[in-house]
Amino acid sequence: MKKIIAFRLSAMGDVSLAVPVIRGVLASNPDLEITLVTRKFFAPFFYNIPRLNLVFPEFNGRHKGFIGIFRLYSDLKKTGPFEAVIDLHGVIRTKIITFLFKTSGVPGFPIDKGRKEKRFLIKSRYIRSLKHTTVRYLDTFKAAGFKGNIGKAPYLNINEEARINAQTFLEKKQVNSTRLKIGVAPFATHQPKVWGIHNFRELVSLINEQCDTDFFLFGGGKAEIKLLKEFKTYISGYHSSPYKIEWMRFEEEAPSPDLVKRIPHIAFEVENLNEALSGKEVIIEPNSPSEGCLVAFIEECGMPIEFIQIEKE
C-alpha cells in the first residue's frame, strides 16, 4: 500500500473543495492511502472515506508558533513513511514542512495557485475563465504521479446523527422541505477576499425574484453576526417591475427602524446625499447596499423617505 501525506488546513470552503478530489484520487488508485493534515473542525467533510486518515495539528498547543512547525513535522514523520507530500495549501507553515520532508528524501508537490494568471486578469481587459480550485488540487496529485478525476455529486457522506440534527433544525425553523435551499458564506479570513455584504444581498434578491429560495447564512463573531442580521430584510421586484417598484419584507429581528418596517416609503434620487440629509431627522444612516449606490432614510411628517445617491460613470 502506497502512503502519501497531503495538507489543507483552512479555510472551510477550500477544505470542502478538497473532498471530491481526494475521493476521486483514492477511487482511481486502489493501492493508495492518504493522510490528510487539516483542522479537527473540518473532520465531518471527510466522514467515511476509505483509506483516508486525518491528522489534526494542535496549533494552540504543541504545534503553536515557529518551533511548533518542527514538532508537527516530527510527529507527522512518525506516521509514515510517505512516498510524497502534496501541499494543497501553499502557506509558510506547509512550505516549511514540505521542505523538511524533502531533506529526508520525500518529494514534495506544491499547488500552483495561478497567481500570475490572477494578477494578469485583474490588470488587463482580457477576461477569461481560470482553473477551478478542484482542478488545481487534482493537478497537484497528478504531478506526483497519481491519476484521478472528480466524479459526480454528492461528494459528502453524512452520518445519521448529523442528518437527524439537520432535520430537527429545519423543522424547528419551519423551513419548507420542498423549496430550494442555498448555503452562503459571505465572509473570509482575509478582507480582500470578501466580495462584499451588499453584493450578496443583491444576489440573494435577484435569485429570489427567479426562484423561491431559502438561504442559510454562515458566519461567526459579533461583527459578522451583526452584518448577517441585515439579511433579515428581503428585497425583490425592482429589476422585473416596469415601474421600478421594489417590495421589502422584514423579519422580526431585522435591524431597520419600526417605521420603515411598518409603512411603505417613496425614494428620491439626489445629487449629494450629505446635502439632502442636512437638517433632516435621519433614521437610517448613509450606507451602501450595492456598489456605486449610497442610501439613507429620514422621517418626514411621520413617514419614512429614502434618499439615493447613484455614482455616475
Fold: same for 2-157 and 264-313: no
Q: Are 113 and 132 in contact (CB under 8 A)?
A: no
d(CA 55, CA 85): 14
How much is the pLDDT for 241? 74
Choose among 300, 249, 259: nearest CA to 276. 300
Q: What is the pLDDT of residue 268?
A: 93
pLDDT digits (tens, 9 = 90+) for 249-261: 787 778 789 999 9
Beta-carbon count within 10 A of 128 CB: 8
Residue ranges of domains in the chain: 2-157, 178-255, 264-313
Class of domain 264-313: alpha beta
- The string of pLDDT tens digits covering residues 221-252 is 777 777 777 667 767 666 667 777 888 878 77
Superfamily classification of domain 2-157:
Glycogen Phosphorylase B; (3.40.50.2000)
pLDDT beyond 80 at 205: no
pLDDT of 208 > 70? The answer is yes
Q: pLDDT at residue 190 above 80? A: no
Summarize pLDDT for 254-289 with one digit per residue, the tens: 878 999 999 999 999 999 999 999 999 999 999 887
Q: Which residue's entry shows cell 430584510?
A: 233
Distance CA 50, CA 34 (A): 9
Q: Cβ distance 189 to 11 under 8 Å?
A: yes
Q: Do residues 110 and 140 lie in contact, with contact meaning Cβ atoms separated by under 8 Å?
A: yes
Q: Give me the mean pLDDT over the 52-73 stretch.
A: 97
**% of the chain with per-residue pLDDT over 90:** 58
Q: How far apart, in Å, are the Cα atoms of 202 and each of 191, 231, 237?
A: 19, 10, 12
Cell of 287: 450606507
Question: Per-residue pLDDT averaged across 207-232, rounded?
Answer: 78
Residue 142: which pLDDT band, with cuts at 50, 70 and 90? very high
Q: Rounded to an integer, what distance in angstroms lies between the CA atom of residue 144 and that of residue 137?
A: 11
Helix (H) or strand (E) holding 268: strand 266-269
Task: State residue 313's pLDDT score.
Answer: 62
